[in-house]
Amino acid sequence: MLYDSDHVEPKPEWQRDYRHVGVPISGLTVEAIGGTARDKGKNVYALGLIAKLFDLNVEKLRSLIQERFAGKDASVAQNALNAFDAGYSYSLGHLLETFRFADSQVRGVRQVVMNGNEALAYGLLAAGVRFGAGYPITPWSDIMELLRRELPKYGGTFVQCEDEIAAVSMALGASYAGRVAVTGSSGPGLSLKVEALGWGVMAEIPLVIVDVQRGGPSTGMPTNVEQSDLNLACFGGHGDSPRVVLAPANVEDCFYMAIEAVNIARRYSVPVILLSDQAIATRIEAFDEPNLQKVCQELPLDLSPARAHKPYDLAAPEGVAAHRPPGTPIVDGIYPVVTGLEHDEFGHPTSSPKLHTQMAAKRRKKLQALAATLPRPSVYGCRSGQLLLIGWGSTAGPIREAVDRARAAGQTVAALHLRHLHPLPLGLEEIFDAFDHLRVVEMNDDGVYGYGQLAGLLRARYRNQKIRGINKADGLAFKVRDIVERIRHDVEEAMTKN
Amino acid sequence: MSSPSLATPAQAAPTAPAATPLPAPIVAPAEGESRPPLTKKQLAADHPTWCPGCGDFSVLALYFKLIEKRRLWHEKIVTISGIGCSSRFPYFVQAHGAHFIHGRALPFATGVSLTRPDLHVFVFSGDGDAFSIGGNHFTHTARKNVKLTFVVMDNEVYGLTKKQTSPTSRTGFRSKTDLWGAVDQPINPLKQALAAGGDVCGSQQPHQSRAPAADDGGGDGPRRLQLHPLPERMRRVLSRRL
Ligand SMILES: Cc1ncc(C[n+]2csc(CCOP(=O)(O)OP(=O)(O)O)c2C)c(N)n1
Ligand code: SF4
Ligand SMILES: [Mg+2]
């Protein structure tokens, strides 16, 4: 831990966990720049230190600094460069020999740097989405701003609507017209979209809905993180309305899961909800540049004529009949109506108990068919042992680190991260059976019955008494320490009970 | 709103698994091809479930006449609606149709129109659907001036849910929710549409109308927004029925 010894004195207990190296950053910066800048430029001085420590590309950093301060008085850029050079030439003494850093650039793979909202929006573009509609709300707004800027470059449109209901309706209209569309929001906006979402399920229209979760309920804590929209995403709305729910685990995953969401929506003619959260949305990560040649896809409009068409064909394989957008000539002259009323195979209203049962089963079976194709998630750590931590969304990182630390301390702890939340992939039972205890780590409340939202879903699904929760709903992300302490506590408690 | 350049119909590759293969390839009609007008027989689907004498029948008849007269292509017509008696419309028309949720047919149709300028987008609605639950969308769709035709069958009452006061019900109108007469002022949809920027707005009694009541909104000409209050007639029908 490098610290500014002009300003802080590390407490002895901190020294236990990390080795502290003091550098008089404030004083040396003033010295490098001259008295007038006062304590400005300390960040650039620290950048110089870091560049030395990690052996970063100095020329590139210097040109970035010049770029950053271009347009200002020339002395500003010069001061910044002076601070940088001073930091870079500070003698870190033995430090550089104590730690050897593996060559960072040898992998030869280009990397991109962005936050989760950007990754998700670019994923949608790569997936071929060319229409979107939304209404501003934090932290979703970044996605719609980016799409409004980028979509026209690809012949697409993003409409800012009068409200979230109009947005989801417009997106459904575009999807119905043959262009799989996206809408999105955060907390309150998802609540507003729910009636139309149910229509998408009933009418079997593909759609991608992004929900960047924030603290709830109601207006809640707009700029804090929470994972409390899972129930709404999986079950929100009246009636039985099976839909797909996915949750990316990190920034890179936002990109690829956006593509997966589009493809599932199209393949199964069903709305797909992408559950991101405030932590992933705003977290900046570097990841390998996607192979755009490979991942980018076009979604051409298919208006090829059909001899006859039943939009809700009960005999269709896996319950999925191809969606035929308007503009498709139907040669026998019987045209489809897509509808939210319970319907027969042509989309005409019915109150037949038999048809309602059959159609409800058809809508449900599509998800069951999807579940059978989902990859079984891998277990991190060990294949069996005392404790399995189950997570979803942005908690992937801290959970893994907590596993590493617990294992270093001799505990047999592992982690399972779920990215497909509804339907769940097959085969989780066997994973669960190999552990004495199961703890679902999630950023939501313990709940009336003592379980967080994913824990409740898993208990209902697997009827497994071992499933319990490690919950936190204070609007802040999990710290590794929070999880480690809970592991220690839970494992010890379990030991004493046994 | 400017049209996005999204429409590349016909030559596109199939996206979804094909159903049973066609016996012989069917060639899509060539651009500019002239076709014989569609007949009422081709266009009529389910027999309307409206009450005998309901004013909505005449709007349906005019719709058929319009399609015939304009020689619209069968596959290019889209009939969209929300919820209400009037919104049952798509089932009675043999064409691509979407029966959406209460009050939101306009944004849905906007999504269709913006992505597919090649289609003739018609929206049918009732006074409750259009001016109450969908009131905000009405203003904003007019403001965006989307290429579509909006037909409201204004019977000054909620028909489907059996005679409650609607936003166009006149003051003093007795309904199941206003046993002693409605107290709120009725809204004036035409004024609202004009104030919000709708290009072409009109109001008609269907029995006065010989010419097609609505334009298809196609082409580059003015965009059309048509309103159809059917007051006196419908009220008589309703008070008899309910
Ligand atoms: C969200 C929602 N709220 C309420 C209803 C019930 N509902 C159905 S139609 C209707 C009113 C229809 O009146 P109008 O639009 O004037 O159509 P009409 O039946 O008179 O043609 C209502 C309140 C509904 N279907 N959905
Ligand atoms: S209730 Fe009124 S609006 Fe509905 S079908 Fe009957 S007459 Fe027409
Ligand atoms: Mg009405």
Atom 22 of ligand 1, residue of closest alpha carbon = B161
Query: For residue A304, is it within any domain?
Result: no
Tokens of A68: 């950053």
Nearest CA-CA distance, residue B143 and chain A, Å:
11
Neighbours of ion ligand 3 (CB under 5 A): B 126-127, 155, 159
Q: For position B6, what pLDDT does the model report? A: 36
Residues A367 and A405 placed together within one structural domain of the fold = no
In a domain, A11, yes or no: yes
Helices (H), chain B: 40-43, 56-70, 105-115, 127-128, 135-144, 189-196, 231-241
Task: Give the one of B26, B116, B137 whose C-beta lies nearest to A162's C-beta.
Answer: B137
- In angstroms, the CA B231 to CA B205 distance is 8
> How far off is chain B from A170, nearest CA to CA, in Å?
4
Average of per-residue pLDDT values in chain B: 77
Q: A3 pairs with which residues across the strands?
A: A22
Domain membership of residue B128 (yes or no) is yes
A115 to each of A139, A213, A284, A378, A406, how far by Cα in Å? 12, 15, 4, 25, 29
Confidence of residue A38 (pLDDT cuts 50, 70, 90): low
Q: Are residues A250 and A155 part of one domain?
A: yes
Task: Decide if A266 and B15 are in contact by the 8 Å CB cutoff.
Answer: yes
- CB contact A129 to B (< 8 Å): no
Kindly state the average pLDDT of the residues A148-171: 97
Query: Are residues A423 and A364 located together in one domain of the fold?
Result: no
B12, B96, B111 member nearest A302 (Cβ): B12
Q: Please give the distance, rounded to the nearest whole angstrom, from the Cα atom of residue A362 to the centre of ligand 3.
A: 34
Do A329 and B114 count as a contact with CB atoms less than 8 A apart?
A: no
| Domain match, A74 and A176 both | no
CA atoms within 13 A on the CB side of A36: 4
Does A487 reside within a domain?
Answer: yes
The structural domain count of chain A equals 4
> Is the same domain home to A254 and A128?
yes
In-domain check, residue B34: no
Residue B21 belongs to some domain of the structure: no
Does residue A378 surpass a pLDDT of 70? yes
- Does A69 share its domain with A126? no
What average pLDDT does the segment B197-208 reach?
Answer: 63
Q: Are residues A67 and A183 part of one domain?
A: no
B-contacting residues of A 297-316, CB under 8 Å?
299-307, 309, 313, 316
Q: For the packed helices A251-268 and A116-126, what is the interaxial angle rounded to 10 degrees?
A: 40
A398 assigned to some structural domain: yes
* A12 near B CB under 8 A: no
Nearest CA in chain A to B5: A155
Around A255, how many Cα atoms within 13 Å sit in the side-chain half-sphere?
20
Asked whether residue A260 carries a pLDDT value surpassing 90, the answer given is yes
Query: Which chain B residue lies closest to A300 (C-alpha atoms)?
Result: B12
pLDDT tens digits along B166-181: 999 999 999 999 999 9
Determine the pLDDT at residue A261. Answer: 98
Structural domain includes residue A244: yes
Looking at the DSSP bridge assignments, the partners of residue A414 are A388
Q: HSE, CB side, 13 Å, CA atoms: give it for residue B75.
A: 24
Check whether residue A158 and residue A249 sit in a common domain.
yes
Query: With an 8 Å Cβ cutoff, are B115 and A327 in contact?
Result: no
- The band of A377, judged by pLDDT with boundaries at 50, 70 and 90, is very high
Residues A212 and A350 reside in one and the same domain:
no
Cβ B166 under 6 angstroms from ligand 1 = yes
Per-residue confidence band for A404, with pLDDT thresholds at 50, 70 and 90? very high
Domain boundary residue, one of A355, A371, A387? A371
Question: Dihedrals φ, ψ of A208, to 5°?
Answer: -115, 125
Which distant-in-sequence residues (6+ apart) come within 8 Å of A288 by Cβ? A109, A110, A111, A112, A252
CB proximity under 8 Å: B 182-201 to A: none
Alpha-carbon distance of B74 to B96, in angstroms, equals 8
Last residue of a domain, one of A98, A133, A164: A98
Lowest-confidence segment of A3-17, A97-111, A340-354, B226-240 by average pLDDT: B226-240
What per-residue confidence (pLDDT) applies to A230?
98
A232 lies in the same domain as A351: no
Q: Atom of ligand 1 at shortest distance to CA of B160?
A: 19
Percent of chain A with pLDDT over 70: 96
Q: Are A122 and A148 a contacting pair, CB within 8 Å?
A: no
Q: Is the pLDDT of residue B18 over 90?
A: no
Residues 6+ apart with CB under 8 A from B143: B196, B197
Contact A302, B13 (CB under 8 A): yes
Residue range of the domain that includes A328: 317-371
pLDDT at B32: 65
Examine residue A309 and state whether it is found in any structural domain, yes or no.
no
Q: Is residue B27 part of a domain?
A: no
B134 lines ligand 1 (CB under 6 A): no
Distance CA B83, CA B81 (A): 7
CB nearest to B28's CB, from A131, A177, A305 = A305
Tokens of B188: 């004036």
Closest residue by CA, ligand 2 atom 8: B54
Q: Which residues of B15-51 are buried (b: 16+ CB within 10 A; e: fewer)?
A: beeebeeeeeeeebbeeeeeeeebeeebbebeebebb
The pairing of beta strand B96-99 with beta strand B77-81: parallel
In a domain, A259, yes or no: yes
Residue nearest to atom 6 of ligand 2 (CA): B51
Domain that residue B86 falls in: 40-241
Structural domain tally of chain B?
1
The average pLDDT across B210-233 equals 38
In the reported structure, the alpha carbon of residue A351 is separated from the centroid of ligand 2 by a whole-number distance in angstroms of 20
Q: Cβ of B6 and A156 within 8 Å?
A: yes
Q: What is the largest CA-CA distance in chain A?
A: 86
Minimum mean pLDDT range among A75-89, A272-286, B22-36, B155-169: B22-36
Q: What is the DSSP letter of A250?
A: S
- Is B197 within the bounds of a domain? yes
* pLDDT tens digit sequence for A47-67: 999 998 888 899 999 999 999
- The tokens of A171 are what? 């997106």
| Closest Cβ–Cβ partner in A166, A172, A327 for B118 | A327
Distance from the CA of B115 to the center of ligand 2, in angstroms? 34
Select from B10, B95, B111 the Cβ nearest to the Cβ of A303: B10
Closest alpha carbon to A251 in A72, A414, A394: A394
Ligand 2 mutation pick, B46, B47, B56, max ligand atoms within 8 A of CB: B56
Cβ-based neighbours of B80, under 8 Å, separated by 6 or more: A173, B90, B97, B98, B100, B105, B108, B109, B112, B121, B122, B123, B124
Q: Which two tokens stand for residue A479?
A: 């710290």
Residues in chain B: 242
Bond preceding residue A423 cis, omega within 30 of 0: yes
Q: For residue B86, give the ligand 1 atom closest to its CA.
A: 21
- B238 ligand 1 Cβ < 6 A: no
* Structural Rg of chain B based on CA atoms: 19
If you average pLDDT over residues A27-54, what whole number do you get? 84
- Give the global pTM: 0.86
Taking 90 as the threshold, does the pLDDT of residue B189 lie above it? no
- Closest to A174 (Cβ–Cβ): which among B18, B29, B111? B111
The helix (H) or strand (E) run that includes residue A111 is strand A111-115
Q: Whole-angstrom Cα distance, residue A402 to residue A390?
A: 12
Q: Residue A297 forms beta bridges with which residues?
A: none
CA distance B175 to B167: 12
Residues A158 and A228 in one domain: yes
Whether cis (ω within 30° of 0) applies to the bond prior to B117 is: no
Q: Which tokens in the block code for residue A490?
A: 């839970």
* Alpha-helical regions (H) of B19-151: 40-43, 56-70, 105-115, 127-128, 135-144
Mutate to test the pocket of ligand 2, among B238, B240, B242 (most ligand atoms within 8 A of CB): B238
Distance A351 CA to ligand 3 centre (A): 23
- Looking at A74, A98, A122, the residue that finishes a domain is A98
User: Is residue A353 located within the same domain as residue A388?
Assistant: no
Q: Does B168 reside within a domain?
A: yes
Q: Is A39 on the interface with B (CB under 8 A)?
A: no
DSSP lists the bridge partners of residue A221 as A215
DSSP E strands: which ranges in A207-328? 207-213, 244-246, 271-277, 284-288
| Alpha carbon B106 to its chain's center | 9
Q: DSSP letter at B130?
A: I
Helices (H), B119-205: 127-128, 135-144, 189-196
Contacts of B119 in chain A (CB under 8 A): 177, 326-327
| Domain of residue B105, CATH code | 3.40.50.970
A155 part of a folded domain: yes
Does B162 fall in a domain?
yes
Report whether pLDDT(A97) > 80: no
How many other C-beta atoms are found inside a 10 Å radius of the C-beta of residue B241?
13
Average pLDDT over residues A191-208: 98
Q: ∠ CA(A339), CA(A343), CA(A345), 5° rounding?
A: 105
pLDDT confidence of residue B214: 41
Q: How is A429-460 classified by DSSP, letter by letter?
A: HHHHHTEEEEEEEESS---TTS--HHHHHHHH
For ligand 2, residues with CB inside 6 Å are B 50-51, 54, 56, 85, 155, 159, 237-238, 241
Ligand 2 atom with least separation from CA of B126: 3
Average pLDDT over residues A468-494: 91
Residue of A303, A332, A338 to mutate, testing the B interface (most B Cβ within 10 Å of its Cβ): A303
C-beta separation of A262 from A120 below 8 A: no
Give the whole-angstrom CA distance, residue A266 versus residue A477: 34
pLDDT in tens, B38-58: 999 999 999 999 999 899 999
